[in-house]
Every structure is written in structure tokens, then in C-alpha cells.
Amino acid sequence: MSAVLAIAVDAPLRRLFDYRPPLHTDPATLQPGVRLWVPFGRRRVVGVLAALRAESELPESRLKPAHAVIDATPVLDPALLDLLLWSADYYRHPPGEVIAAALPAALRSGAAANATTERWTLTAAARTGTLPPLSSRATRLNELVDFLRERDAADEAELLARSPRWRDPMRELEKRGWATRLRAETARTPAFDRDARIGPRPDPTPDQERAIAAIAAASGRHASFLLHGVTGSGKTEVYLRAIEDVVRRGEQALVLVPEISLTPQLVARFEARFDAPLAVMHSSLPDTERLQAWRSARDGTAPVVIGTRSAVFAPLARAGLIVVDEEHDASYKQQEGFRYSARDLALARAQRLGIPVVLGSATPSLESLERVGSGRSTRLGLPVRAAGARPPTLRLVDLRRHAGTHGIATPVVLAIGRHLEQGGQVLLYLNRRGYAPSLFCPSCGWVAPCPRCDARLTVHQREHRLHCHHCGTEQRVPETCPDCGQPAKPVGQGTERIEETLAQLFPGVPLARIDRDAVRRRGALESALDRVTRGEVRLLVGTQMLTKGHHFPDVTLVVVLNADQGLFGTDFRASERLAQTIVQVAGRAGRAERPGEVLIQTEYPEHPLLAQLVEGGYDAYAEAALAERRQAEWPPFARIAVLRAEAARREPPMAFLDRARELAAAQAGGEVELLGPAAAPMERRAGHYRAQLLLHARSHGPLQRLLSRWLPEVEAMPEARRVRWSIDVDPLELF
Ligand code: ADP
Ligand code: ZN
Ligand code: ZN
């Protein structure tokens, strides 16, 4: 009986590829999840066996045999492989690319999955030329010698990558004294000690106690929790306790965090608590370290695996718990290529594994709140701050009524002075880096445009350059207006200008700016945060970076310089993001005994969103926002997907989307609504015109059924070849 191997190959095609087993390989010995070398076009690539099938849709004669099997045991266990194939289906993304996202680069190019491997090397005699030469006709032996001569040693994976038939010639070389084996020199890290010392920790508060007990009671079965507590309420402490339990049972915990480089303090806390190797996984790790972390997660030597988005695919020998910290954070959604949500996949994975999952946030996403509302998740509340600090008070400052200095209203200037005098630290938040958001000519009205985007260039004063924050274009700042020759001037505020203004208003007060420009150098962020923590810095100005993970215990005043950017956004999630940001920044204040004060500058103090936030906090906002979404039938009360297209000219994306819409309309029935196509609000970006078609349905089923029938047709459309297009299921942003 013949068997067909359905293999996932890292290629942009929404299907698996059929192969025959390698010659002399019994297909019964092959388990799904092993890697193989396969011929693909004119290349040889690493593929992953997704399934064994009895037959192919292609005639047997057209199937090529795979070259060689790489792994004795699967690199992806059945549950993980199943999750990946399901994700590929759910997000309508090529399965080979989905599986590639789950493997470290080294494994994608054929490196050994296990740390313990034999290696082969040329003998000293062979290297010094003291052996009788090999016959020049022994081509395979000579080639192998050349290959080994170029490196210290080669392992099985490397030899296999060179040629699937390497064992016979190698045996021959060993017999003749040319080659020799090195025993595995990479020592296995010992399995962690379950009774490992647990670092010092505070006694849980009664609220923490309840949360810890609820999570512990769910061990060994699936349950989903939303740990909802204000910043500083002790959520991390709850994770740590819950994980202690997991570790004592000899199981592993997977902890997802938004951005490792922004949360060194969090990783340090885990390290201080567990006297065991942590596997830390994030995108800026060098390949070898990433492979090492992947291995220690897979063989179970790391009891805690902590990582960013793609760590949701970390292999786990004995999974016991999944934690998603700051679950509302947008970075859990990959915005290009394989557009998945790591938070949603964490839920799916925990369900498949039959283990509990804890999503934590001070500002839960409306999706997670809806899951609680519909009974699919249990809310664990931490209503007060752990260390007893009082919550900050929020106040709005009406920008229309108060004069100001370069974007800082007079009452705010006075408040800053007061807090500084009383020995407090002050944090100012503005989500705009650079000096000013545009360069303007007062004589003729010219505004410096980006040549490649429908956007303005941002002035960066210190570098004396103009930057486009959408495409990266850079220019010199022109001396005069190119249209009329009069002087042009920066208008509006960015963090760089706020820094300058503060230095003028409060001369001599030590100041730090934290944004992408200021902390570009490696280690710059850590050192700036250190100076803040040590109290050397009294004034702190920064962007979104400040809202994530950091604890600033001595900050007594937080200023949100401009709340208005999110009030009238075109995206239905704009207000949710604004509310989260304000509450997150506000949460940085008044950690210790001193109560914090939060001032929010706005031109729309009567806006209902701001009023709700100030009076009822995030909960009041969220309740109102959920009611609005339910009424308007938007997520989480509906499901959407977006077909996006872009091209260097304006017409092809529209033509593509118009045609795609016709095809969808023929299938949609009454269940899926089609909206658009419409051009993006900023239509041209980096020289490309962008447009999209939105698909909207009450529930996921009809949407998924339509996508599965429709996308193959879209792929085959001639118009598809003239654009770059993508599908985004459960998009976070509409453009
Ligand atoms: P969150 O993750 O919600 O921001 P953390 O767990 O970081 O909160 O706790 C905030 C601060 O309170 C930390 O300094 C932490 O050490 C401290 N803390 C947490 N739980 C307790 C507790 N039960 N008793 C005393 N201090 C605590
Ligand atoms: Zn001009
Ligand atoms: Zn641009």
C-alpha cells in the first residue's frame, strides 16, 4: 500500500503539498510533526509532515519522493500541530507559513531539534595530510571530506541538509581513519527541581488569595479567567503564586507579555522568584539563543516559558497554565503576514490542552469583558492597590479656557511646579514623537508633505530633519518655504518640543524623555528607567512606551497632554484604545503612600467618553462602550474580516476589490454583509494606494464558510495579480 505525505512548506500558498515517502523509508515510521527535506520547485526545502494520507488528488506518477527525514520524533507535538493547522484555517493563511512562525529560524533551515547530537569531524591525520590520499574517483568521499574540511565539525542535521545519503560514505571515511565522531558535548541542563527554592514574597491580600485559589482549583481542566485589577493591584503577584503551584506539580507555565524590551522589570521578578532556568522568547533574540529557549521549553527543563506574541506557539512538555499579561495590548495581534491574535490563540490552546488560562489587565479588552458577560470566562477582581496606595484622582483641563505655553496649559504648569516643590516626580504623556507634527508656512499656507504618503512630515529639531512616521522618508528641513521663499515654522507639539518647553519652564530640574528616538541605542531605555527609579530624574516625558509595565513609585502627577487624538477616530476601536491609554498612564501615579493626581488636557471636556472615565473609571466606560457595540452590531457582538489591497496606482486595488465583492455577493446569502470597497483614510502610504472590503457577520460560522469558498476564487482572479492583497480575520485596526 502506498502512503502520501501531506507536507507544509513555507510558501505563500494556501495548501499542503503531497509527496511520496523518501526511498527506503517505511511510512509507518513517520509521525506527523516531523521535518523532512523535500524538493520544491528547483530548491530543496525543509517541510513539516502535516498528515499521512492514503491517496493524493494527483496521480501517483506526479508525486515526487521527499529527500530525507530530519527528525526521529516530531518537532511539533500532535496538539500543537493541530492548533497550528486550525489557526491556518481560521485566519485563512498558508499553513506552511503558519508552521514556520512556530519554529525558530535554525529549525526552519534544518538544525537538529535536540541539543544532544553526535557530530563528525575530520581526524587530525586527515587534516594534516598524513594519510594516503583517497582515489580521485571516490567522488562522494572526496566531497564529504571537502565539506568537513570547511568546518570544525558537522552534526546529523547539517550532513543531512547537504545530502540525504551521507551515512555510507561517512562510515567509509571512519573506517579509513579520515573521519571520527565527537560525542555530544552539549550537556543537558538537568530537569528543574520541583522543590526549588522560591524567592521571598509578600503574603497575598484576601482578594489575591481568592484569585489564586480559583486558578488552583481549575488545575488539570480548562477554565478561562479574566484577572481584572488596576495597575499596582498585585496581578503579577497572583501570576507568580499560581505558577508556583504549577511548578510544584512538575508542570510548566507559559507567560505571554506584550514586549520584553519594555518589561525587563517583569522578567527580573520571575527570575528572582523561581530558582530555575526560565525560557525567554522574543523577536530580538539571536537565533542560537532562541533555539536554546525553544529546546528548554520543549524538553521541559524550563518550568516557566515567558515570551512575546509568537511564544504562544512555544512547545511545552507538560503544560499546566497559560497567562496573558496586559491582554488588551495591541501587540498581541500580528499586523502583517500571518495576522493572528496571540491572546485568542492562547485561549484556543488552553482549551485544547485542557488547562486554565488567565488573562490579566487593568483595562480589559471589550472582547474579554464580553466573554465574562456571556459566562465563557470568570472575572477575578483586584479592586484595590496591593501596597495600600490610594487610587489617583482624574481631572480634565479645558484647553479652550486656559492659555498655555507650547501645549501645556497654565493650571498644568502650576500643578507641575507644586508637585516638584513637594518632592514628587511628574510624568507627561504625549503620543507623538519628534518636535512638531508639521512644518508650516504662515505666508502661503504650505505644509511639508511626505512625497510617498498622504501625510505630513514631522519635524525632528535636534537632527534638523523631517521624518515621515508612516514610511520612514527623511529630508533636510528646508531653510525657507519652497513655494514662496518665506520662513516656515514648526507647528504643534511632539515630545521633543515638550522636553524643550519643560527645560525652559523648570530650568535645572533633571529631565528625561522616553520615546523611540530617545532610546534607540541598546540599553538606553533601561538606563533612563533606572535614573527615574533612583529619583535622579524629576520630570519624565514620553510616548506609549511609558504606559507599559513600568512602575514609577514616586510619580505623583501624571499629565495626559492631548486626549483628543482618539476621540474622533475613524476606527471603531479608537475610543477603547484611548480609554485604555489614559487609564494605563494614570496608573503610573501614586504607587506608594502619596496619592496621585492625573490631569487630562482636552478641547472637548464635555465629551461623554472623557466624562465617563473621570467619573466612573474604566468600568463605566467599558459598560457604555459594550452597550454601544451591541447596539451597532460590532465586535465582540459580530465578526468581521477585511480584504485589503494595495498597488502603486490607484485603480488596481479598487478593480480587485470590486470584482472580489461581486464574487462574494454571489455566495454571501443573507448572512454576510459586504461593506465597501473603500479607500483608506490615508489612501497613499509608502507610494502605495490602499483600499479595503469589509465582511461583517453576526457570528463566525457564516463568515468562515464564505471565506473558505470565496478566497480560492479571489486567489485565482486575474485582478489579484496586479495588487498586493491580504485577508485579516478579526482585524484589530480597520486600515
Ligand atoms: P500589577 O501587576 O497589578 O501592576 P504587582 O503585582 O506588580 O501589580 O504589585 C504592585 C506592587 O505591590 C509591587 O511592588 C508588589 O511587590 C506589591 N505587592 C503585590 N502584592 C502584594 C501583597 N500581597 N502585599 C504587599 N505588597 C504586594
Ligand atoms: Zn510659503
Ligand atoms: Zn511617508
For residue 241, the CA-to-ligand 2 centroid distance in Å is 63
Which H helix or E strand runs over 541?
A: strand 539-542
Q: Residue 488 CA: which ligand is closest? A: 2
39-54 average pLDDT score = 94
Q: What is the CATH number of the domain that holds 226?
A: 3.40.50.300
153 domain residue, yes or no: yes
Task: Indicate if the pLDDT at residue 276 is higher than 90.
Answer: no
User: 445 exposed, middle or buried (CB, 10 Å; 0-12, 13-18, 19+)?
Assistant: exposed
Q: What is the CATH number of the domain that holds 71?
A: 3.40.1440.60
Q: Are residues 23 and 92 in the same domain?
A: yes
Query: Tell me, what DSSP letter sits at residue 701?
Result: H
Atom of ligand 1 nearest to the CA of 238: 6
Q: Say yes or no: CB of residue 236 within 6 Å of ligand 1.
A: yes
C-alpha 678/C-alpha 135 separation (Å) is 70
C-alpha 262/C-alpha 9 separation (Å) is 34
Atom of ligand 1 nearest to the CA of 203: 23
SS3 183: coil
Q: Say yes or no: CB of residue 363 within 6 Å of ligand 1.
A: no
271-287 average pLDDT score = 85
Q: Are residues 96 and 124 in the same domain?
A: no
190 domain residue, yes or no: no
pLDDT of residue 591: 57
Q: Averaging pLDDT over each range in 61-75, 391-405, 444-458, which range is the top one? A: 444-458
C-alpha 515/C-alpha 469 separation (Å) is 13
> 634-658 pLDDT, tens per residue?
999 999 999 999 999 999 999 999 9
The strands making up 252-256's β-sheet, listed across from edge to edge, are: 278-281, 304-307, 252-256, 319-324, 356-361, 223-229, 378-382
For residue 731, the CA-to-ligand 3 centroid distance in Å is 23
Q: Whose CA is nearest to atom 8 of ligand 1?
A: 234
Cell of 353: 490542552
For residue 686, the CA-to-ligand 3 centroid distance in Å is 5
198 domain residue, yes or no: no
- What residues pair up with 225 in beta bridges, in sequence order? 358, 378
708 vs 387, residue with greater confidence: 708
Q: Would strands 179-182 and 438-440 be described as parallel, antiparallel, or unpaired?
A: unpaired
Q: Are residues 165 and 63 in the same domain?
A: no
pLDDT of residue 200: 78
Q: What is the CATH number of the domain that holds 715?
A: 3.30.70.600
448 domain residue, yes or no: no
Written in H, E and C, the secondary structure of 321-370 is EEEECCCCCHHHECCCCCCCEHHHHHHHHHHHHCCEEEEEECCCCHHHHH
461 domain residue, yes or no: no
Q: Say yes or no: CB of residue 384 within 6 Å of ligand 1.
A: no
Cell of 223: 477554565
From 577, 604, 630, the end of a domain falls on 630
Q: Say yes or no: CB of residue 365 within 6 Å of ligand 1.
A: no
> 703-721 pLDDT, tens per residue?
999 999 999 999 999 999 9
Q: Are residues 556 and 606 in the same domain?
A: yes
From 387, 410, 426, the end of a domain falls on 387
Percent share of the chain, pLDDT over 70: 95
Query: Tell me, what DSSP letter sits at residue 20?
Result: B
User: Given the C-alpha cell 533636510, which residue does it identify?
Assistant: 476
Max Cα separation, the chain? 95
Task: Indicate if the pLDDT at residue 1 is higher than 60.
Answer: no
From 63, 90, 108, the end of a domain falls on 108
Q: Are residues 85 and 221 in the same domain?
A: no
554 vs 727, residue with greater confidence: 727
Which H helix or E strand runs over 171?
A: helix 167-175
Phi-psi region of 146 (alpha: psi -120 to 50; beta: other; left: phi over 0): alpha
Q: Whose CA is nearest to atom 9 of ligand 1?
A: 234
Question: How would residue 188 be classed by pLDDT, with cut points 50, 70 and 90?
Answer: very low
pLDDT of residue 189: 46
Cα-based angle 497, 561, 233 (whole degrees, multiple of 5): 125
664-692 average pLDDT score = 92
Q: Say yes or no: CB of residue 584 within 6 Å of ligand 1.
A: no
C-alpha 495/C-alpha 493 separation (Å) is 7
Q: Say yes or no: CB of residue 202 within 6 Å of ligand 1.
A: yes
Q: Are residues 526 and 395 in the same domain?
A: yes
> 480-522 pLDDT, tens per residue?
999 999 999 999 999 999 999 999 999 999 999 999 898 888 7
Task: Indicate if the pLDDT at residue 187 is higher than 50.
Answer: no
Q: Which of 209, 230, 236 to mutate to test the pocket of ligand 1 (most atoms within 8 A of CB)?
A: 236
Q: Say yes or no: CB of residue 381 within 6 Å of ligand 1.
A: no
Q: Whose CA is nearest to atom 15 of ligand 1?
A: 234
The angle that helices 95-102 and 78-90 make with each other, rounded to 10 degrees, is 130
Nearest Cα to 232, choosing from 614, 590, 693?
590
Q: Are residues 533 and 603 in the same domain?
A: yes
Task: Indicate if the pLDDT at residue 186 is higher than 70.
Answer: no
Question: How would residue 120 be classed by pLDDT, with cut points 50, 70 and 90?
Answer: confident
Atom of ligand 1 nearest to the CA of 229: 3
pLDDT of residue 590: 67
SS3 667: helix
Task: Indicate if the pLDDT at residue 71 is higher than 70.
Answer: yes
For residue 642, the CA-to-ligand 3 centroid distance in Å is 23
Q: Are residues 312 and 409 in the same domain?
A: no
Q: Whose CA is nearest to atom 4 of ligand 1?
A: 232
DSSP annotation string for 425-462: EEEEE-S--SSBSEEE-TTT--B-B-SSSSSBPEEETT
201 domain residue, yes or no: no
Q: Say yes or no: CB of residue 386 within 6 Å of ligand 1.
A: yes
Outline where 514-607 has alpha helix (H).
524-533, 574-586
pLDDT of residue 197: 63
Q: Which of 237, 324, 329 to mutate to test the pocket of ligand 1 (most atoms within 8 A of CB)?
A: 237
User: Given the C-alpha cell 535614573, which residue does it identify?
Assistant: 531
Whether residue 407 contacts residue 415, with contact meaning beta carbons closer than 8 Å, is answered with no
Phi-psi region of 464 (alpha: psi -120 to 50; beta: other; left: phi over 0): left
Q: Are residues 175 and 216 in the same domain?
A: no
> 233-258 pLDDT, tens per residue?
899 999 999 999 999 899 999 999 99
C-alpha 194/C-alpha 247 separation (Å) is 6
652-673 average pLDDT score = 93
> 530-549 pLDDT, tens per residue?
888 888 999 999 998 887 76
User: 716 exposed, middle or buried (CB, 10 Å; 0-12, 13-18, 19+)?
Assistant: exposed
What residues have CB less than 8 Å from 598, skipping those under 6 apart?
Answer: 392, 393, 394, 395, 557, 558, 559, 560, 585, 586, 589
Say if residue 635 is preceded by a cis peptide, omega within 30 of 0: no
pLDDT of residue 721: 95
Nearest Cα to 438, choosing from 430, 427, 449, 429?
449
C-alpha 202/C-alpha 479 separation (Å) is 60
Nearest Cα to 635, choosing from 706, 691, 699, 574?
699
Q: Which domain holds residue 133?
A: 116-185
Task: Indicate if the pLDDT at residue 74 is higher than 80.
Answer: yes
Which H helix or E strand runs over 256?
A: strand 252-256
C-alpha 665/C-alpha 660 separation (Å) is 9
Q: Would strands 378-382 and 223-229 be described as parallel, antiparallel, or unpaired?
A: parallel
Cell of 723: 495588487
> 581-637 pLDDT, tens per residue?
988 888 877 655 667 899 999 999 999 888 888 998 899 999 999 999 999 999 999
